[in-house]
């Protein structure tokens, strides 16, 4: 637990995660684009750093929690980035959800400087971050995973070492594929019930008793019945994750015929102005289509 931790990216997820690391007794150095969250963390006991390179220079473990692949590349491997500040034997953990291919390239760049890098994307959302109850999907070597475990345990509950570098990001991509596809399937089914004059709540109840049962049918199915599309996990973030899935599928020549249709629905939902609604608003997109073309 003696590790000094650097934390870069204090957004909706990063801020409560950094706070949980402070609560767990770690020394934490923080950096973020917006000054407000940095001030908050500093008043809670963290140290401020001016740039990613400086965070790395004063930390044994540097964590990034950023919106997208380009942001992580900027902070880790571009001029002024973490790669310039790390010292031999330190550890980098990217907890953002980004492209597995880019992850492997960055991991190789760090390895050439004697620094291990783990990919450790999470699921569980803001609530999971605040409650230190995130699911964490980890890619990287065993020694790095063992070293990072106390850090992960301060942040989450369901911690799975999936495989080597990139495996955490691949796992997250698979998760986002299954979640969005299941939401879309439930939306199509409940709308079919409704437009057939059948009580969709009864259909949800009946389906929960059999092979159609899922966490999504339970939670997001209820959201659809209630038209409760306040986030939750935003459509635009799932659209971003869907691009990562698409890119990973293209890179590995993996056919994803049904998810390709789901990506189109996410895109249409974004274009219709549902970016900041919960991803269960894929139901609202279908309702619009039924109204416009029905």
Site for its own copies in 49-88 (CB under 8 A): none
CB 291 → its own copies: shortest distance, Å? 10
Instruction: Give the footprint of its own copies on residues 144-183 (CB under 8 A).
Output: 158, 160-164, 166-167, 170-171, 173-175, 177-179, 181-182
Going by C-alpha positions, the residue among 170, 281, 283 that lies closest to residue 234 is: 281
Going by C-alpha positions, the residue among 51, 64, 58, 66 that lies closest to residue 29 is: 58
CB 197 → its own copies: shortest distance, Å? 8
- Angstrom CA distances, 292 to 21, 25, 54, 273, 285, stand at 50, 56, 54, 16, 11
195 sits in which H/E element: helix 167-195
* Nearer to its own copies among residue 146 and residue 206 (C-beta): 206
* Nearer to its own copies among residue 59 and residue 280 (C-beta): 280
Going by C-alpha positions, the residue among 293, 292, 177, 272 that lies closest to residue 229 is: 272
Catalytic residue among 15, 172, 215, 240: 172
Number of residues binding to its own copies, judged by CB under 8 A: 74
Contact pick of 100, 231, 274, 283 for its own copies (by CB under 8 A): 100
The DSSP code for 160 is E
* Distance separating alpha carbons of residues 107 and 117, to the nearest angstrom: 5
Instruction: Give the footprint of its own copies on residues 260-279 (CB under 8 A).
Output: 260-262, 264-265
141 is a contact residue toward its own copies (CB under 8 A): no
**β-strand partners of 94:** 64, 119
- Angstrom CA distances, 158 to 92, 120, 155, 162, stand at 20, 12, 10, 12
293 is a contact residue toward its own copies (CB under 8 A): yes
130 is a contact residue toward its own copies (CB under 8 A): no
* Nearer to its own copies among residue 28 and residue 270 (C-beta): 270
CB 79 → its own copies: shortest distance, Å? 30
The DSSP code for 95 is -
* Nearer to its own copies among residue 46 and residue 183 (C-beta): 183
* Nearer to its own copies among residue 56 and residue 186 (C-beta): 186
Is 157 catalytic? The answer is no
CB 117 → its own copies: shortest distance, Å? 17
**How many C-beta atoms surround the C-beta of residue 36 within 10 A?**
10
Which stretches of 42-182 are assigned E, i.e. beta strand? 47-48, 61-64, 91-94, 116-119, 122-123, 134-139, 156-163
CB 85 → its own copies: shortest distance, Å? 30
Instruction: Give the footprint of its own copies on residues 187-246 (CB under 8 A).
Output: 188-193, 195-199, 202-203, 205-207, 209-217, 219, 245
* Nearer to its own copies among residue 23 and residue 260 (C-beta): 260
Q: What are the catalytic residues? A: 172
């Amino acid at each position: 637990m003696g590790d000094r931790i650097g934390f870069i990216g204090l957004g909706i997820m990063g801020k409560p995660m950094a706070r949980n690391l402070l609560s767990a007794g770690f020394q934490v150095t923080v950096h973020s684009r917006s000054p407000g969250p940095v001030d908050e963390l500093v008043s809670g006991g963290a140290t401020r750093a001016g740039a990613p390179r400086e965070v790395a220079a004063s930390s044994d473990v540097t964590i990034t929690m950023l919106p997208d692949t380009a942001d992580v590349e900027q902070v880790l491997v571009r001029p002024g980035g973490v790669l310039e500040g790390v010292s031999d034997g330190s550890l980098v953990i990217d907890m953002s959800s980004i492209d597995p291919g880019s992850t492997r390239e960055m991991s190789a760049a760090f390895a050439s400087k004697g620094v291990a890098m783990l990919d450790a994307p999470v699921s569980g959302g803001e609530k999971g971050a605040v409650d230190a109850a995130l699911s964490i999907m980890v890619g990287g070597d065993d020694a790095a995973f063992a070293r990072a475990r106390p850090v992960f345990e301060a942040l989450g509950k369901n911690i799975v070492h999936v495989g080597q570098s990139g495996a955490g990001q691949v796992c997250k991509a698979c998760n986002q594929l299954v979640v969005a596809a299941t939401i879309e399937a439930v939306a199509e089914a409940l709308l079919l019930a409704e437009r057939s004059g059948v009580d969709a709540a009864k259909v949800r109840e009946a389906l929960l008793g059999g092979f159609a049962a899922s966490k999504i049918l339970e939670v997001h199915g209820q959201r659809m019945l209630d038209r409760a599309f306040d986030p939750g996990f935003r459509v635009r973030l799932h659209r971003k994750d869907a691009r990562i899935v698409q890119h990973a599928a293209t890179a590995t020549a993996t056919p994803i015929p049904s998810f390709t249709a789901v990506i189109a629905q996410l895109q249409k939902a974004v274009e219709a102005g549902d970016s900041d609604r919960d991803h269960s608003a894929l139901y609202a997109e279908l309702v619009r289509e039924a109204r416009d073309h029905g």
